[in-house]
Structure 1
Amino acid sequence: MNTDQLRSLAEWSIVHRRFLHKHPELSGKEFNTYNYIKDIVTELGLQLADYPSPNLIAYLPGTVGKKTIALRADIDALPVQEEGGKEGYKSMNPGVSHACGHDGHTAILLAVAKWMAENRNSIEHNVKFIFQSAEEITPSGAEGLVQAGILDDVDAIFGIHLWQGLEKGKIGLKPGPMMASVDDFHVTIDASGGHGSMPHETTDPIYIATHLIQSFQAITSRQTNPIEPAVISIGKVDGGSSYSIIPSKVELYGTMRAVTPETQAFMKERIAQQTAGICSTFSADHKIEFIEGTPPLVNDPKESAFVETVIKEHLGEDVFSLLDSTMAAEDFSFYLQKKQGAFVFVGMKGEKSRYPHHHAKFDLDEDVFESAIQLFIKIVQDYPSS
């Protein structure tokens, strides 16, 4: 594929990206998006696999077909009211927008499917194109597809994320743990409450909540290995209705993240133990609920080295970037628990993409589409036969 062909393919994908951006749909409800993708891949002559919609799985048999490579894009949007210009492609769905880049991931994978369908003779391996619903929620779309057997006939799986935090022009990954797990928790403190003028006659759940919040921070600062990243954050405290009334109930809502399953399990255990101990100390009852999210994303070292070689050989030695772990999470981790593969960041940080993911003014830099398309194609073409 020469430069002009690649540029034309990227321009084709940008047209579709802008359509998808104008018509975003929330996780699990991407049925119009599903139909849009279906029309394109059907016209390309790809086979459709039978998986629950709005997931769409397309298949291209290879010329040899001894191995099957899966490529994945996520298709859902976020409950974010879009802000900013975006002339000609701003979201037409109030309160919903592609504020993370999934519209770009989908359009890029469609372009890859288009090129491969039109150049079948150059594709040795079977290719499975996964257009996945519901990346942004729990339970996630990836978890459901893995349970449905999406990877049973797959030898390796690869995915990309257009990444605002990485300099434009760079493409990179981290072998091993690259992205964090994410689990949420909800603590309810039940106590007697009472009048603020007579605290000695009450059990004060607000006071108890302050001890819990302090103790949770000690888990990451004093109980986990400092060279293994871990985060516990309280995002919401709910309790009380007046200046002078000590409430009978306070609720804490938080999130915890880790890059290893061991640290993930340890934090959950300690949150439960410390909540029980502190509430008991101050004579309060408690309830705690854990909402399990995604596990840590762990790139296979061998496949990571393969992707690094592909980037350096086809996109340039100076393009590859060896990344640090990030505490952001991605449900691509479920695929990597099942089969070997790698998840790759395509950098786009710059003037066009200066707002972070999930920000109301977030936008993609479409200049990087060419590199992302080429990367996917070369991963499949260069993947070893044995």
Structure 2
Amino acid sequence: MLQTINVDSALKDWAIEQRRHFHQYPELSGQEFNTGSYVRKALEEFGISIVEGFSEPNVIGYLQGTEGKKTIALRADMDALPMVEEGEKPFMSTVPGVFHGCGHDGHTAILLAVAKWMSSNRHKVKNNIKFIFQSSEEASPSGAQQLVKEGVLEDVDAIYGIHLMQNLPLGKIGFATGPAMASSDDFNITIEGIGGHGGQPQATVDPIYISTHLIQAFQSIVSRSLHPLQAGVISFGGVQAGNSYNVIPSEAKLQGTIRAMTFEAAELMKERTAQLTESICASFGAKGHYEYIEGTPPLFNHPEACEYAKEVIENTFGADVFEPMDPSLGAEDYSYYLKEITGAFINVGMQSEKSQYPHHHPKFDIDEDAMPAAIELMIQLALNA
């Protein structure tokens, strides 16, 4: 039996007030010092210990459980995006060119509300709880990766996190079990050829022509090297070369992204893109310089944690609330936590008239009616694990 809790209207209103504060004062990845200070002060007022020794602006809180046999971590990300907000809501961003366009203001407020509830209901909290308020989810270097290196999970038995999700209807909660989100790695390629006159191509090594072969060849990795049952994407996002009609340039630059649902697929695509760059360029007499920029690994939702989370969702909100979801080729640095220990990443639906624009859209907004369910879900996951 799950413990009975009460996310009353006062806690909901308080959480919304916190969310709107964070929304008005957004901070970019790695710069969330004011947000971190605000969170730290609130946790201290609740009587929740601050775990020192972790890089700022991350804030780690700790609540000792009445039994203390297990330690459960709950995570929220704090960073905003380099975007200009559009719209007319009364709590618009006050920071030019910075905007909470993905919902992290809501995540931070939700976890802070969870901490507030637990501090007032300590007799119900048997497990130790670690509250992870994480910097820099949206950009590299990853805040999750840094915290894992610093040992944030060393004493943790399981970890749970939520994401307010615009493409999932309000009132639904769901996730994909197993491979849930993709890795996200980037690459830069420089093709070093020999430039010359456009009317005398025989005297050149044309990097533009070579780049067309490279772009085509990379797609053969997905269609011919990757296992057909493993999802993967290679996309070029930039090609720069030359600036004249009749001059073949000496250099071409390409950039792109690699997405994969498994660690094996990500490693294969990394190796093959590097090999093809070198071999194809060499076959035309050019030099290919390949730079691989490691991003986030695939996010794997552990089946045992997913089974538990589904049980909590159905017992708390009803069987019709849970929504099985397909894997996504989006990326999330929460994957660094799940690479180390058992846990799950759960989507809380908020698609409605209030939240009709997708994540990272200038008019994106949260439907705050989704916040109470997210608060109760995180509390129940931590209490009953």
TM-score bracket for the superposition, by shorter chain length: over 0.9
Which of residues 31, 40, 43 in structure 2 aligns to 1:41? Answer: 43
8 Å Cα contact 2:7/2:376 also seen in 1 = no
Instruction: Work out the CA distance in 1 between the residues paired with 2:256 and 2:269.
Output: 12
Instruction: Work out the CA distance in 2 between the residues paired with 1:70 and 1:208.
Output: 50
- Aligned counterpart, 2:23: 21
Q: Quote the offset at 1:4 in angstroms.
A: 7.4
- Aligned counterpart, 1:54: 57
2:102 maps to 1:103: no
Instruction: Work out the CA distance in 2 between the residues paired with 1:349 and 1:244.
Output: 52
- Do the aligned partners of residues 92 and 142 (structure 1) sit closer, same or farther apart at CA in structure 2, a change above 3 Å counting? same
Instruction: Work out the CA distance in 2 between the residues paired with 1:131 and 1:328.
Output: 22
Trace 1:125-274 onto structure 2 (pairs within 5 A). 125-274=127-276
- Aligned counterpart, 1:288: 290
Gaps of 5+ in 2: none
Q: Give the TM-score of the pair, scaled to structure 2.
A: 0.97
- Do the aligned partners of residues 3 and 302 (structure 1) sit closer, same or farther apart at CA in structure 2, a change above 3 Å counting? closer
- Say which SS state the counterpart of residue 363 (structure 1) adopts: coil
- Aligned counterpart, 1:82: 85
- Say which SS state the counterpart of residue 375 (structure 2) adopts: helix
- Do the aligned partners of residues 216 and 175 (structure 1) sit closer, same or farther apart at CA in structure 2, a change above 3 Å counting? same
Instruction: Work out the CA distance in 1 between the residues paired with 2:357 and 2:5.
Output: 30
Q: Quote the offset at 1:218 in angstroms.
A: 1.7
- Say which SS state the counterpart of residue 101 (structure 2) adopts: coil
2:66 maps to 1:66: no
Deviation beyond 4 Å, 4+ runs, structure 1: 1-5
**Paired letter, 2:173:** I
**Paired letter, 1:273:** Q
- Aligned counterpart, 1:326: 328
**Alignment RMSD (CA, Å):** 1.3
8 Å Cα contact 2:137/2:332 also seen in 1 = yes
Instruction: Work out the CA distance in 2 between the residues paired with 1:227 and 1:16.
Output: 44
- Aligned counterpart, 1:311: 313
- Do the aligned partners of residues 53 and 377 (structure 1) sit closer, same or farther apart at CA in structure 2, a change above 3 Å counting? same
8 Å Cα contact 1:6/1:374 also seen in 2 = no
Q: Deviations over 1:200-237 (max 9, x none)?
A: 22111111111111111121123212221101111111
8 Å Cα contact 2:7/2:372 also seen in 1 = no
Instruction: Work out the CA distance in 1 between the residues paired with 2:200 and 2:10.
Output: 74
- Say which SS state the counterpart of residue 338 (structure 1) adopts: coil
8 Å Cα contact 1:105/1:160 also seen in 2 = yes
Give the percent of matched residue pairs that are identical in Structure 1 and Structure 2. Answer: 54
Q: Quote the offset at 1:172 in angstroms.
A: 0.8
Greater shift after overlay, 223-232 or 252-261? 223-232
8 Å Cα contact 2:181/2:299 also seen in 1 = yes
Q: Deviations over 1:149-179 (max 9, x none)?
A: 1011111100011111222211111221101
8 Å Cα contact 2:7/2:375 also seen in 1 = no
- Say which SS state the counterpart of residue 98 (structure 2) adopts: coil
Greater shift after overlay, 2-11 or 90-99? 2-11
Q: Deviations over 1:53-88 (max 9, x none)?
A: 100001111111111100000001111111222x22
Instruction: Work out the CA distance in 2 between the residues paired with 1:315 and 1:24.
Output: 32
- Say which SS state the counterpart of residue 383 (structure 2) adopts: helix
Q: Quote the offset at 1:196 in angstroms.
A: 1.4
Q: Quote the offset at 1:8 in angstroms.
A: 2.3
Instruction: Work out the CA distance in 2 between the residues paired with 1:120 and 1:264.
Output: 44
Q: Deviations over 1:336-359 (max 9, x none)?
A: 111111110111122222222122
Instruction: Work out the CA distance in 2 between the residues paired with 1:379 and 1:3.
Output: 12
Instruction: Work out the CA distance in 1 between the residues paired with 2:219 and 2:357.
Output: 29
Instruction: Work out the CA distance in 2 between the residues paired with 1:2 and 1:181.
Output: 38
8 Å Cα contact 2:181/2:332 also seen in 1 = yes
Instruction: Work out the CA distance in 1 between the residues paired with 2:49 and 2:98.
Output: 31
8 Å Cα contact 1:69/1:155 also seen in 2 = yes
Q: Quote the offset at 1:131 in angstroms.
A: 0.1
**Paired letter, 2:244:** S
Which of residues 11, 14, 31 in structure 2 aligns to 1:12? Answer: 14
Gaps of 5+ in 1: none
Aligned length: 382
